[in-house]
Structure 1
Amino acid sequence: MKFGLSTILVVMLAAASVPARACTTFWHQFQGRSFVAKNYDWNEAGGLVLINKKGVKKQSLSFNAGNKSSEWTSKYASLTFNQYGREMPNGGMNTEGLVVEIMWFNQTLYQRADDRPSISELQWIQYQLDRFSTTAEVIQHADKLRVAPIYAKVHYLVCDKSGNCAAFEYVNHKLVISRAAKALSNSSYSDSVNYMKRLGNGAFKDNPKSSLNRFVGAMRECSSANKPSFDVLNNVRQGNFTKWQIVYEPSTLTVRFRTTAEPAIKTVRLKAFDTGCKSPSLMLNINTRKKGDVTAAFTAYSSEANYALLQETTKPLQKHLPPGAVWLLSRYPKLTQCTQ
């Protein structure tokens, strides 16, 4: 979709990604149930929780005239957490119980340009949720698509409802997949595991909330399986810098979350939604004051709300943005098409 957004998006998301580099995600069990949990550590707190429908035809945004766009139709519906507009999620879970989460990874070196279809680092998440039901499927297809980044240096943790997880990282311009990964912070999976082996049962070195220590802390807590997800998240949180805490339960398609601004836990039942694209996509302000089960609190998605979100999360960057950038991004979802 080459409609003049390339420069706008590069400037906006590059600036938005600079200030903060963190997050921790892990898989664990508690009382015989499996969960995937994430601390979203970032400088911005705003966001939308979105219900994305199946049967929607999409084309990836092209950020460079030399990139080949990807085209696909969503096979599965999903719930995602979005901070920089619809179709560019920061993580989520689909109706098959596949969870995809993103974290900053400063050592990322993406694959060099070639003739494969490309996609941005955030839309990569939506693509996996739209198309695949298991971690094995994501692994099988991962190298058929090239990440053409807007700016952010990231890596991903993918888990499915059977508990199979894998880390996806771009190291030295090559895709590295770690099939045994159960946690990820902001260091490579291999560096994190090696550090954990060296540390053994010893005390943390240096900053206890460093990337490596957060990884070890999460793994230690998860191995004991005696604490609920939010307790483990609190043990690796970074004070008020942790803006969102999210817990997915793939087996029941239930998502629980809370924010620093509104710390009461909210629950969403993904099974309760009409997943076909003939009905509108749905949204909920992530900082809603409601508590408990908020499934019924979702309302029809609107480009106006998307626009308002983008205005909020890019407010410190307005002087760096071309005129109309936020408006164009808010309108992008209208270019997708329902095939049902």
Structure 2
Amino acid sequence: MSLCRSKPFAAMILPVCFGLASVCLTEAVPACSTVAFVDTQRPMLAYNFDFEATGAGFLTVNSAGSRRQSISEDRPASWTAEYDNLTINQVGPGMPAAGMNTAGLVVTLMWNKDAVFGGAAGLPSVSELEFIQRLLDLSGSVEEAVEHAKGVRIDGLVPIHYFLFDQAGAAAVLTPGKSGLVVHQGIDLPVPALTNTSYREALLHLAQFRGYGGASPVPQHQSRGDQNSLDRFAIAANAAQHSKGRTNAAEAFKFLNELANSETRWQIVFDPKDQQIRLRIEGSSLEHRLDLSTLVFACQVPALAVDLRQLTSEFEAKDLTPIQPELLSESLTEVLSSMRQTAHLGHAEIAGSIATGLIFSSSCTAN
């Protein structure tokens, strides 16, 4: 089953296929944060995923050779994955919030009210989350990902921007704009961090603090209200600077705790050189270590996955099983129930159709 084959179904699922869709019409603003530690010997990326209502989601295995087609109705993009990757998905297969591939590319997302989806109408299109999956499927580095990003138009509803990182310590911020993606990388990315305001605005805010051109001390704690995202950016920038690029997973989680809030659901540390993802789930003291080098990546439908809230301290690769429509539908029902103020959402009866569509939206081809 392809989500693209039914226009009514695609029109219904598109607003749902982004787990943070409730920010469109409500005042609930997730406060996700990303900070990179760019030491070339041991680069790491630390990420907080924040969502008001629930921590429901899945860890999903995505294999090279998977053939995907976008749910977008206008010139849907299609591609065949070149890299195996592991993603963290709130919505379902092919719709990650973050992930890392076996080449060491990492992509995360954050809400940004200033993001505007535009660009050349003639390009093939993808949804906000499919964009992440496509980059992980096709790109072996930040440089390659930036080039692949230019080849599609994001047919998005929810304003977000993206942070990219790789095992060489290269980083980039991609922000959707009216004319297409605005890219910050190299000398245009002096601070390897991102929160929920535009990167340029965040840098201007940072310039008032000591060590960054100003005289005021860097905030030690987050403020409430409009300044929250800017304060988190300053805290993240300070963490990256004072680590001198070098850190370990324990220190990275410590920095994430400084950026956390009551809505932080997942805390993730990516180690692209060692091919490891360390994950902490809200309400649990366990730290789950996911080693991509121990996984057997073989394309199959349904894809292998595990419910994030079913992870145990003894988690092993064998615990990954084909994701079932009933299990995904149950999780989606919980996610959708938090979106009752958003058009077309909050209706549990649509979860089953969406779950089935997402699971069977990819197929396998010979490598």
Give the CA deviation at 1:116: 0.7
Q: What is the 5 A alignment of 1:1-340? A: 1-3=4-6, 4-12=8-16, 13=18, 15-18=21-24, 19-28=28-37, 33-43=42-52, 44-62=54-72, 64=73, 67-112=74-119, 114-149=121-156, 151-180=157-186, 181=189, 182-201=192-211, 202-204=216-218, 208=223, 210-225=228-243, 228-238=251-261, 240-278=262-300, 281-291=303-313, 294-317=316-339, 320-321=344-345, 324-332=349-357, 333-340=359-366
More divergent stretch after superposition (111-120 vs 210-219): 111-120
Contact kept? 1:85, 1:309, Cα under 8 Å: no
In structure 2, what is the Cα distance between the partners aligned to 1:208 and 1:198? 16
Aligned residues: 335
CA shift for structure 1 position 172: 4.2
Displacement after TM superposition at 1:301 (Å): 2.3
Read off the aligned partner of 2:80 and give its amino acid letter: T
Distance 1:172 1:113, change over 3 A: closer
In the alignment, is the contact (CA less than 8 A) between 1:307 and 1:329 conserved in 2?
Answer: yes
Alignment TM-score, normalising by the size of structure 2: 0.84
> Which amino acid in the other structure matches residue 276 of structure 2?
T
CA contact (8 A) 2:278 2:287 kept: yes
Q: CA contact under 8 A between 1:34 and 1:249: conserved in structure 2?
A: yes
- Secondary structure, counterpart of 1:122 in structure 2: helix
Range that drifts further, 229-238 or 106-115: 106-115
CA distance in 1, matches of 2:50, 2:145: 25
C-alpha contact (below 8 Å) 2:138/2:148 kept by paired residues: no
- Report deviation, 1:294: 4.1
Query: Cα RMSD (Å) of the superposition?
Result: 2.4
* Residues 59 and 70, structure 1, Cα contact 8 Å, conserved in 2: yes
CA contact (8 A) 1:229 1:247 kept: yes
3-state SS of 1:97 partner:
coil
Cα deviation, residue 329, structure 1 = 1.6
Mapped partners of 1:15, 1:279: distance in 2: 27
1:9 Cα deviation after fit: 1.9
C-alpha displacement at 1:109, in angstroms?
1.2
Partner of 1:68, secondary structure, is: coil
Report the identity percentage: 26
Comparing 113-122 and 276-285, the one that deviates more: 276-285
Q: What is the alpha-carbon distance in structure 1 between the residues aligned to residue 139 and residue 264 of structure 2?
A: 29
Q: C-alpha separation between the residues in 1 aligned to 2:300 and 2:57? A: 25
- Contact between 1:56 and 1:338, CA under 8 Å: does it hold in 2? yes
Q: Secondary structure at the match of 1:229?
A: helix
**Contact (CA 8 Å) 1:24, 1:185: kept in 2 or not?**
yes
Instruction: Give the superposition deviation at 1:11.
Output: 4.7
Paired amino acid for 2:34: T
- State the secondary structure of the residue aligned to 2:43: strand
> Aligned partners of 2:322, 2:291: CA distance in 1, in Å?
17
Q: Distance in 1 between matches of 2:300 and 2:55?
A: 31
Structure 1-normalised TM-score? 0.91
How many Å apart are 1:84 and its aligned residue? 1.1
Rounded to whole Å, the distance in 2 between the matches of 1:30 and 1:258 is 23
Conserved? CA contact 2:301–2:363, under 8 Å? no
**Cα distance in structure 2, aligned partners of 1:31 and 1:128:** 22
User: Could you tell me how far apart the structure 1 residues matched to 2:21 and 2:153 are?
Assistant: 23
Offset of residue 204 of structure 1? 4.9
Tell me: CA distance 1:301–1:208, structure 2 relative to 1, closer, same or farther (3 Å).
same
Q: Provide structure 2 residue ranges, at least 5 long, that are not aligned to the other structure.
A: none
| Structure 1: distance between partners of 2:40 and 2:118 | 41
Shift of the alpha carbon at 1:143? 1.7
- Tell me, which stretches of 5 or more residues in structure 1 are unaligned? none
Structure number with higher strand proportion? 1
Residue identity opposite 2:355 in structure 1: S
Given residue 279 of structure 2, which amino acid in structure 1 is its aligned partner?
F
* CA shift digits 1:193-242 (9 cap, x unpaired): 1211222342357953611111110111121217611001011111x211
Instruction: Tell me, in whole angstroms, the C-alpha distance in 1 between the residues paired with 2:313 and 2:40.
Output: 24
1:67-93 Cα deviation digits (max 9, x unpaired)? 101010011111111111111111100
1:192 Cα deviation (Å)? 1.1
* 1:270-322 CA-partner distances (Å, limit 9, x unpaired): 11111121586321221235126544432232222222221121123469447
Equivalent pair of 1:303/1:330 in contact (CA under 8 Å): yes
Mapped contact 1:118–1:148 kept (Cα < 8 A) = yes
Query: Are the equivalent residues in 2 in contact too, given 1:54–1:277 (CA < 8 A)?
Result: yes
